Amino acid sequence: MNKTHQETIRPGRHTAQLLAATLLVAGTAFAQDDETLTKQVELEQPPEASGEGYFDYPGMDEIPEGQFGEAVRSGMEAFINTLQHPEAKRHVGNGQNCANCHLGGGMAANSAPLWGAWGIYPKYRGKNDHVNTMDERIRGCFTYSMNAGDSEAGGPPKPDSQLLKDMQSFMFWSARGAPLGKNLPGRGYRSVEEPEDGYSISRGESIYQDQCAVCHAEDGSGKFTADGKQIFPPLWGEKAFNWGAGMHRINTAAGFIKYNMPLGKANPVEMHAALSDQEAWDVAAYMNSHERPQDPRWEGDKATTAEKWHDHTCLYNQEARGHTLGEGTE
């Protein structure tokens, strides 16, 4: 790791340490469930699964008939084949499907499963500094991860639109019987602590070319069929998630990669990793050292945008491979 990167991650680290300290104090004072609903910081990492394993989500053959069932099916289709769903695709301004970052069609433990998210909203989010409903949270995914600003509709779906009703029906259905306000085992991604010596973009590059390029392509552009169906998601460039998406944070990407990638080799449900913590951080940094669509919260210049929105572990407005990142894509 070079000196520049050591410097770049310092502010984010500082915040993380503060948060960790806050959590520690909060954790000793309140029971887990109270804390989940009230605390003003991101949730703690959920406990590991006990002997009973993870929440037992329903099978696809258990979707009921009638209007609710139709809403669940439509929401599931919007989630898995976002680029094909007639309404959802109008709000996608890149080449992503929701299920690219939520494996198993949103059902896989430790891959940000929907059944783990449903019961913790409405929730305060530091990202936008107010209490978010699930409706708003999904619109956030469209704005950043799906880069809705460049979509046919020009933005995320409208609040309480049929698409958001459908997607929430799917989430609610998947979480049937799950406790509310509980930090369930398997929720989110496992967090992977930053290695002592930081990370290396150049080491990440060789890991990427050895292990990731076979699917995501050497230039990170993914693979698509001739008629536009996504086969493997793009990781950077104009078809990728934008500079405001959670996945552009190196720690978040490392947590996803560690137990989810390479697909089929890692196993999030068994918490089996194919990469070491160091490798996960290195390759996450390499992925996020490329240009991607601009942060929709653009403040007129990179420095101001960075100061206001990027006080975390990321490379926005930082030097990488001879280039100051954060230019966005055409």
Partner 1 sequence: MQRLHRLRTLPALLFLALAPVTTAASDLGEKVAQQGNDNGAAACVTCHGADGGGNGAAGWPRLAGMNADYLAKQLDDMASGKRDNATMNPIAKGLSAEERRAVSEYYAEMEAPTEAPGTDAAQSVVERGRAIAEQGLWRKGVPSCVACHGPGGDGVGADFPALSGQHANYIENQFTAWQDGTRHNDPNELMASVAERLTEEEIKAVAAWFASQPARPPAE
Nearer to partner 1, 55 or 309 (CB): 55
Q: Can residue 28 be called a binding residue for partner 1 (CB under 8 A)?
A: no
Q: What's the gap between Cα 130 and its chain centre?
A: 19
CB 110 within 8 A of CB 54: no
Residues 89 to 148 in contact with partner 1, rule: CB under 8 A: 103-105, 107-108
Interface size with partner 1, residues (CB under 8 A): 27
Q: Can residue 270 be called a binding residue for partner 1 (CB under 8 A)?
A: yes
Exposure b/e, 48-84, CB count within 10 A at least 16 = b: ebeeeebbebeeeeebeeeeeeebbbbbbbbbbbbbb
Q: Can residue 50 be called a binding residue for partner 1 (CB under 8 A)?
A: no
Q: Can residue 153 be called a binding residue for partner 1 (CB under 8 A)?
A: no
Q: What's the gap between Cα 29 and its chain centre?
A: 30
Closest CA to 218 of 231, 199, 205: 205
Q: Can residue 303 be called a binding residue for partner 1 (CB under 8 A)?
A: no
User: Among 37-45, 118-126, 134-142, 206-214, which window interacts with partner 1 (CB under 8 A)?
Assistant: 206-214
State the minimum distance, in angstroms, from the CB of residue 25 to partner 1: 36
Residue 68's SS3 state is helix
Nearer to partner 1, 29 or 226 (CB): 226
Q: How far apart are CA 121 and CA 168, in angstroms?
A: 11
State the minimum distance, in angstroms, from the CB of residue 108 to partner 1: 5
Residues 231 to 250 in contact with partner 1, rule: CB under 8 A: 231
Q: Which residues pair with 319 in a beta bridge?
A: 324
Q: Can residue 51 be called a binding residue for partner 1 (CB under 8 A)?
A: no
Q: Can residue 58 be called a binding residue for partner 1 (CB under 8 A)?
A: no
Nearer to partner 1, 195 or 262 (CB): 262
Residue 175's SS3 state is coil
User: Among 122-130, 158-166, 241-249, 258-266, which window interacts with partner 1 (CB under 8 A)?
Assistant: 258-266
How buried is residue 191: exposed, middle or buried, by Cβ count under 10 Å (0-12/13-18/19+)? Answer: middle
**Binder among 18, 20, 25, 60 for partner 1 (CB under 8 A):** 60
Residue 70's SS3 state is helix
Mention every residue, 6+ apart, whose C-beta is less than 8 A from residue 223: 215, 216, 217, 230, 231, 232
**Binder among 15, 45, 132, 211 for partner 1 (CB under 8 A):** 211
Q: How far apart are CA 101 and CA 113, in angstroms?
A: 10
**Binder among 272, 308, 321, 323 for partner 1 (CB under 8 A):** 272
User: Among 18-26, 163-171, 226-234, 294-302, which window interacts with partner 1 (CB under 8 A)?
Assistant: 226-234
Residue 117 CB neighbours (<10 A): 21
Q: Can residue 223 be called a binding residue for partner 1 (CB under 8 A)?
A: yes
User: Among 26-34, 147-155, 185-193, 222-230, which window interacts with partner 1 (CB under 8 A)?
Assistant: 222-230
End-to-end C-alpha distance for the chain, whole angstroms: 30
Q: Can residue 205 be called a binding residue for partner 1 (CB under 8 A)?
A: no
Q: How far apart are CA 234 and CA 120, in angstroms?
A: 30
Residues that bind partner 1 (CB under 8 A): 60, 103-105, 107-108, 210-211, 214-215, 223-227, 229, 231, 262-265, 267-270, 272, 274
